[in-house]
Amino acid sequence: MRWIALILLVAGVARADQNDLELWRLGHPDDLPCTRCDGLPGDVKEPGSIDAQARFHRMASTLGLAFVPPFQETAGTLGQSGFELGLTSQQVFMNLPADSWATQGTQATSAAPRVLLLPTLVVRKGLGGSLELGVAVSWLANSQMVGLSAEARWAVIDGVGNAPDFALRAWGTRVVGARDLDLTSAGADAAFSKSFGVAGMVKLQPYLQGGIAFVNAASSVIDFKPNVENNANPTADDGVFRSVSLFNNRFLRTAAGVRLVAGVVVLGVEGALAQGSNPIQDGAPAGTANNFVRVWSAAGRLGFSY
């Protein structure tokens, strides 16, 4: 638990950094009653743009998928007395245009980073009856954003003869520390795995997962002209992005990996892909194009299993 506290402490004391959000730079989807918004006479309305909402959807969906935790587990459970602690380095590979990555570092004009780094602490506990629970804490490097995740898993087939293990899982992630953004991910999947003994000393455990991931995104009230202020009407340049509901923003996700277990030490690698095409907002106007979002990730694990 000290590691969890350490990750939260690091994120909590950080000041605004390269990957911290500045959503106002995406533009505003609805009209503003002013363009300069400085309170001087002669100011005119500034039209909104549906492209701003598309940029918001693309960025929020990418972040939501990036925070899906790499539990890096087999379909077989740890058993009633089993416990595993692991530290993972997850790299998320994304392909976003500059105007869809609005952070302090890029200001939605410089190229978006190709790789995001998310160190993650994972704890798993077997409950018996082929049930298992897990929690994870992920931190997006160079930001104040932290993902808090939990999963529940049931191994339908667990250690039966020579048959592969098979499990069903549900998980959820809540991202905190994302300025002006309310972000939640959830999903369910199925997994197959098989454990092989090697030289009577170690176990090799390949596994495959496939399922669906959902991303829910909404914004708080945003000051779209933060560099000016109309003291007589300070909210004239405020607005929100339109919400993207969980079950309307769906992505297929698959992951494959292998674990090497030697005594209590666990080493693992995993690769994952999530992608889908979805409406950019709830109740999108007729004729509005969907956004296609694809996120690749890779993770390496050092853990201890008891």
Domain ranges of the chain: 2-24+49-279+292-305
Nearest Cα residue to 80 out of 179, 159, 146, 193:
159
Give the chain's largest Cα–Cα span: 82
Res 10: pLDDT = 45
* Amino acid letter, 172: G
Element (H, E) at 61: helix 50-66
Q: What angle do CA 112, 48, 183 make, to 5 degrees?
A: 50
Q: What is the pTM of this model?
A: 0.91
* Residue 299 confidence (pLDDT): 98
Looking at residue 16, what is its pLDDT?
58
Q: Is-contact 4 27, C-beta < 8 A?
A: no
Ranges of the chain whose pLDDT falls below 70: 1-16
Q: In angstroms, rounded to a whole number, what is the distance separating the alpha carbons of residues 17 and 142?
A: 5
User: Residue 90's pLDDT is what?
Assistant: 97
| Fold category of 2-24+49-279+292-305 in CATH | Lipocalin (2.40.128)
Residue 296: CB partners within 8 Å, gap ≥ 6?
A: 92, 93, 94, 271, 272, 273
Per-residue pLDDT tens digits for 108-148: 999 999 999 999 999 999 998 899 999 999 999 999 999 99
Distances from the Cα of 64 to the Cαs of 103, 200, 231, 239, in angstroms? 16, 41, 36, 22
Q: What is the pLDDT of residue 286?
A: 86
| pLDDT at res. 30 | 95
